[in-house]
Chains A and B, each alone.
Chain A
């Protein structure tokens, strides 16, 4: 598009509200967070002193922080693994001719569309210790009584399972969309070469899916790592902090212990971990955003 010099002011005028809001709502808070992490500000009084790196030093020695970091990796790794397994699996199955395929597809998407609070309410009812349907089925058919959310490690296993249920449709959707774009000629060529079903999958389908799988893994890893709502509403981090991840620790430090400085330090530390994932995503997929 050829530009006329006098248009420059219009382009700047149109983008300026966005830039202003970005500055106020993202850049300034990020800087503020970083500054807070070097202070001892109290959440209510908003008073505090500069304490240097004391917050970071005490975090590294804090067993709560270390366990939150480990829980964060266990939660992210666990739920991501099963999301990929079910998401890719169901996408491959539904790529075949299945009865009522459109209905099956829409039904599979539902968990992803539900608000997290609804997911939490439904699962807490299903797992209710007295009248939950799943609790009943487990005890009547399986003969075991499980305290789904009140025990270690049951609580972590339960939230990983619910996270899988809620988020695998994202993987399913992305992989399904990619599968539909694989040219049929590739399969015909492979068939002519005498390739069986298994070899058609490994030599044709899988190489075509590698890109989308890598992108989805990174994107979901980023989102799962920062998940707050599901974990907080499901367990509140309990029992005995066994499901407390970094976002929950940040929230509790800031609004439970009223220690903004400590919370900000934990948040910045968490962001540092996430930056690794984010830069991987940027290197691979951010570039094509520039081709505008």
Chain B
């Protein structure tokens, strides 16, 4: 065998090993997801088979149907939708104007404030939850969705300001300057130039805020005790701990349904993911 052929063989051999190692790790990592979906489709009598079956022998949607008709799940889902939507709208409105001001005007304290947004983004919420709880309880807002939205704004706003600011910095200032020379007002150039340019940033920022609010657990745990206004994270834990006989396939069906909106959001976010998740990570 020639030297070239043997080294080519060696290379394809190590390529094979690399592929096997990689896909073993990937499949191992994805197993819990596969198991979540598989369990949610198994009829009750299959759930407790030993050894467990990998795929449902007789796939059924009964758990999804019962989840939607016999449990408070739809109400949890609706509450989460309301809170996440309200939080996103408030945060986006305030942060868009704020980020525009931070990137297009010059005034004392501007840089300090920008730094402060980064600091608050890293701040632990257990520090803020104590005073926020006392304050909201004082105003009789502790056990309400409005109170929960207020606390969600506290982490959504710094994040949105930071993200939007980094998007708006990249829009050339010449663009709105040109619009203004053509006679547009500040606000006019903001609406006609900045908003369309920043639209991808606005969309991905709102998705990130929506997701963060949708997943939020600590504030909901502290604030909400009435079952009819529970959001999904605390509601699903209630379903786990309050039932005498835990219905795992129903909980897995709920997990799938709670994840679906996120998957839809993330397919839109694919491009921005590396920038958004790795904010501040530039090497």
Q: Does B195 contact A (CB under 8 A)?
A: no
Instruction: Say whether A146 faces chain B, with CB atoms less than 8 Å apart.
Output: no
A185 at the interface (CB under 8 A from B): no
Check B107 for interface membership: any CB of A closer than 8 A: yes
- The one of B23, B52, B258 that contacts A118, using a Cβ cutoff of 8 Å: B258
Chain B contact residues (Cβ within 8 angstroms of A): what range?
35 or more
CB-based contact A108/B97 at 8 Å: no
- Among B32, B50, B104, B254: residue with most chain A CB under 10 A: B32
Tell me, yes or no, whether B232 is within 8 Å of chain A by CB: yes
A18 & B157 in contact (Cβ 8 Å cutoff): yes
Interface with B: A57-65, A150-158, A188-196, A248-256, which one?
A248-256
**A278 x B122 contact (CB < 8 A):** yes
Given the interface pairs A107-B30, A173-B277, A226-B124, the reply to whether A11 lies near B236 with Cβ below 8 Å is: no
User: Which residue of A107, A226, A289, A292 contacts B126 across the interface (Cβ within 8 Å)?
Assistant: A226
Residues of A within 8 A of B218 (CB): 228-229, 251
Of B1-9, B59-67, B127-135, B197-205, the one contacting chain A is: B127-135
Counting residue pairs across A and B whose Cβ atoms lie within 8 Å, the total is 298
The answer, yes or no, to whether B57 is at the interface (CB within 8 Å) is: no
A28→B128 CA distance, assembly (Å): 9
Q: Is the CB of B217 within 8 A of A116?
A: yes
- Residues on B with C-beta less than 8 A from A126 are 32, 35
Contacts of B22 in A (CB 8 A): 90, 93-94, 98, 104
CB atoms of A292 and B103 under 8 A apart: yes
Q: Mark A15-38, 1 if CB is under 8 A from B, else 0.
A: 101110110011011101100100
Interface set, chain B 229-283, CB cutoff 8 A to A:
232-233, 236-237, 240, 248, 251-252, 254-255, 258-259, 262-263, 266, 273-274, 277-278, 280-283
| Chain A nearest CB, measured from B54 CB (Å) | 9
**A289 with B131: CB separation less than 8 A:** no
Name the interface residues of A3-22: CB closer than 8 Å to any CB of B.
Answer: 3, 7-8, 10-12, 14-15, 17-19, 21-22
Q: Does A1 contact B (CB under 8 A)?
A: yes
Given A96-B18, A98-B19, A292-B103; A29-B266 close (CB under 8 Å): no
Interface pair A292/B169, CB less than 8 Å apart: yes
CB-nearest residue of chain A relative to B119?
A278
Contact A99 B233 (CB under 8 A): no
Interface assignment of A122: CB less than 8 Å from any CB of chain B: yes
**Which B residues touch A108, using CB under 8 A?**
26, 29
A116-B217, A121-B252, A208-B283 known; A30 and B26 CB under 8 Å?
Answer: no
Which of B116, B157, B254 lies in contact with A21, CB distance below 8 A? B157
Q: Provide the residues of chain A in CB contact with B127, threshold 8 Å.
A: 29-30, 33, 250, 267-268, 270-271
Closest approach, in angstroms, between the C-beta of B99 and any C-beta of chain A? 8
Considering only residues 135-164 of chain B, those with a C-beta below 8 Å from chain A are 135, 137-138, 150-151, 153-154, 157-158, 161-162
Interface on chain B toward A: helix, strand, loop, or mixed SS? Answer: helix
List the A residue with the shortest CB-CB distance to B277.
A173
Give the Cβ gap from B17 to chain A, nearest Cβ, in Å: 11
Q: A26-B128, A292-B102 are in contact. Are A125 and B52 (CB under 8 A)?
A: no
Minimal Cβ-Cβ distance residue in B for A132? B52
Tell me if A113 and B266 are in contact (CB < 8 A).
yes
Q: What CA separation (Å) do A142 and B118 show in the bound complex?
A: 47
Cβ distance A277 to chain B, nearest Cβ, rounded Å: 8
- B71 at interface by CB-CB < 8 Å: no
Q: B94 in the interface, Cβ–Cβ < 8 Å? A: yes
Which chain B residue shows the least CB distance to A120? B237
B94 touches A18 (CB 8 A): yes
Contacts of B215 in A (CB 8 A): 115-117
From residue A260, how far is it (CB to closest CB) to chain B in Å? Answer: 6
Set of chain B residues within 8 Å of A1, measured between Cβ atoms: 104, 106, 173, 177
* B193 at interface, CB cutoff 8 A: no
Q: Which residues of A contact B131 (CB under 8 A)?
A: 28-30, 32-33, 36
Q: Which residue of B lies closest to A130 (CB)?
A: B48
A32-B135, A121-B252, A219-B281 given; A111·B29 CB < 8 A: yes
